[in-house]
Amino acid sequence: MAVNSVQKIRLKKLLLELKRIQDFFLEKYGVNDIYSNSKIFEILIANELNHILIPGHSGSKDAKDENGNEFEYKHFKETSGNHSWTFNDYSDTTIEGLKNIKSAIFAHIDDASFPPKLDWFIEVNGKACSNYLKYRTEELLQRKPKGHVNKRKMINFSAMQLEKDLKLSKTTIREINKTGLYYAWLIKIYDIANQIEKITGVTQILTSNKFWELLVSLKLEHQVLSEQAGHDAVDDQGNFYEYKVSKTFSWNFQDISDNVLAKYKKEKAVILAVVDKENMKVIKIFEANSHKVVKKLKEKLGDKTKRYAQKGGLRRLQVSLSKGDLEEINVKEISFS
- pLDDT for the residue numbered 154: 74
Classify residue 180: in a domain, yes or no.
Answer: no
Cβ 63 vs Cβ 46: under 8 Å? yes
Proportion of the chain above pLDDT 70, given as a percent = 93
- Give residue 71's domain range: 30-172
Q: Which of 118, 145, 172 lies at the terminal end of a domain, its last residue?
A: 172
Other CB atoms within a 10 A radius of the CB of residue 312 amount to 9
Residue 79's domain is classified under what CATH number?
Answer: 3.40.210.10
Mean pLDDT of the chain: 90
Higher pLDDT, 62 or 312: 62
197 found inside a domain: no
Q: Order the strands of the 171-172 sheet from edge to edge.
A: 52-53, 63-64, 70-77, 103-110, 117-125, 171-172
Residues 240 and 107 reside in one and the same domain: no
Pair 254, 126 in one domain: no
98 part of a folded domain: yes
Looking at residue 3, its pLDDT comes to 81
pLDDT at 331: 95
Residue predicted with more confidence, 115 or 285: 285
Has residue 117 got a pLDDT over 80?
Answer: yes
The verdict on residue 191 lying in a domain is no
CA dist., res. 336 & res. 213, Å (int): 15
In a domain, 6, yes or no: no
Q: Please state the length of the chain.
A: 337
**pLDDT for the residue numbered 37:** 83
pLDDT at 290: 96
Q: For 296-318, what is each residue's pLDDT tens digit?
A: 999 999 999 988 887 777 777 89
**Edge to edge, what strands does the sheet with 223-224 contain?**
223-224, 233-234, 240-246, 269-276, 281-288, 332-333
Number of domains within the chain: 2
Q: Prior bond to 115 cis, omega within 30? A: yes
Closest CA to 31 of 53, 6, 16: 53
The answer to whether residues 106 and 223 belong to one domain is no
pLDDT band at 293 (very low <50, low <70, confident <90, very high): very high
- Cβ(127)–Cβ(93) under 8 Å? no
| Residue 88 vs residue 12, higher pLDDT | 12
Rounded to two decimals, the pTM is 0.87
- Residue 151 has a pLDDT of 54
* In a domain? residue 281: yes
Q: 121-158 pLDDT, tens per residue?
A: 999 999 999 999 988 888 766 665 555 555 556 788 99
Rounded to whole angstroms, the maximal C-alpha distance in the chain is 60
Do 218 and 325 reside in the same domain of the chain? yes
Could you tell me if 165 and 280 lie in one domain?
no
- Spatial CA neighbour of 201 closest among 184, 225, 177: 225
Is 42's pLDDT higher than 90? yes
- Please check whether residue 145 lies inside any domain of the structure: yes
